[in-house]
Structure 1
Amino acid sequence: MEFPKILLDKISYYLRDRKESISIAESVTSGFLQLAFSQMPSAEEFYKGGITAYTIEQKVKHLNIDYDEAKVVNCVSRPISEAMAQNVALLFDTEWSLATTGYATPVEESGDEIFAYYCIAYRGTVIRSDRIELHPMTKALDAQSYFMEYILGCLRCEVKRNHEHINI
């Protein structure tokens, strides 16, 4: 698997320069983001870890997701991704956090669509949260790879910005 090296290098540079750390909670990307972070230069200086929680039970247990809310949306929604991001930051004690949830294959629960919700949080505050949609014929591995690269691009933009005014 190829990773966007320039993108990884920039994220690594910005996080190290800011002396800030990051953690990740994944579902639909199934560890792709964590794998990408392991490929970044000096990752041990800023990447504290992550969790891949694929089922509602694991998201409730490890990421403190509200079971009743998750059950209604099959654990896939913008508020779920936001809670995942905020709670993984608490779990790993990081300034930055990422979270993903969604569908890499078209299934009945997704309305036969492929999409992901992602969230980027900084110091406990959601700073970017959105939905990514792909064509329903997209292969699962391609969808997961696309979601990962798209989210890393968004993260690069956010860590480059000055978010120092948030929750200090």
Structure 2
Amino acid sequence: MAENKVLGERVGDVLRSRKLTMGTAESCTGGRIANMITLVAGSSDYFVGGVVSYSNEVKQHVLGVSEESLRQHGAVSREVVEQMAQGAIRTLGCDCAVATSGIAGPGGGTPEKPVGTVWIAAALKGEIVSHCFHFGTVRAENIQAAADAALTLLLDLLQKQHG
């Protein structure tokens, strides 16, 4: 738990110092990222909220993910997480956002997208970065690893744009 708070605090320190706000669009992490951010006292200064978009309908109707992207690439794809992150910024009215979509396990994997496959995107001021991760087969560990990776990706983007 302490390690989560440290990462959440690091992101919060950068957001607060730059007077930026953030939001989340989480599928496979189910709100874990929002939890890690809000464990930090004073996070209301920079965290506006999150969308847990477990279903494709919520991805489409709340975050604006295109039906075509879902059909062509599947929910666990670069195209979808990038649209989720951009949709969170638009829907929540924040400066930056992270998005996750993956197969936490233990079931649901395919040969092309095995259990532990997670796409993560971070978006800030018109720039978006995304990455595919391959974690293990243990659900709880995959969820935590994806949440950690999402905050690290956002932190890297924030530091890159600040430099």
TM over 0.5: yes
Cα deviation per residue 1:49-101 (whole Å; 9 max; x = unaligned)? Answer: 01001111111110111112202333110011001001110111111111011
**Which residue is 1:100 aligned to?**
100
**Which residue is 1:54 aligned to?**
54
Partners of 2:113 and 2:96 lie apart in 1 by: 32
For the pair 1:79 / 2:79, whether they are aligned, the reply is yes
Q: CA deviation at 1:2?
A: 5.1
Amino acid paired to 2:123: A
Structure 1 contact 95–124 (Cα < 8 Å) conserved: no
Unaligned runs of 5+ in 1: none
Identity %: 22
Q: Secondary structure at the match of 1:40?
A: coil
Structure 2 contact 24–99 (Cα < 8 Å) conserved: yes
Select 1:123's aligned residue among 119, 122, 125.
125
Kindly report the root-mean-square deviation, in angstroms, between the aligned alpha carbons of the 2 structures.
1.8
Within 5 Å, give how 1:16-165 maps onto structure 2. 16-105=16-105, 106-109=107-110, 111-126=113-128, 128-135=129-136, 138-163=137-162
Q: Secondary structure at the match of 1:63?
A: coil
Q: How many residues align?
A: 161
Structure 2 contact 117–133 (Cα < 8 Å) conserved: yes
Q: Secondary structure at the match of 2:62?
A: helix
TM-score (norm 2): 0.89
Unaligned runs of 5+ in 2: none
Partners of 1:42 and 1:17 lie apart in 2 by: 13
Q: CA deviation at 1:111?
A: 4.1
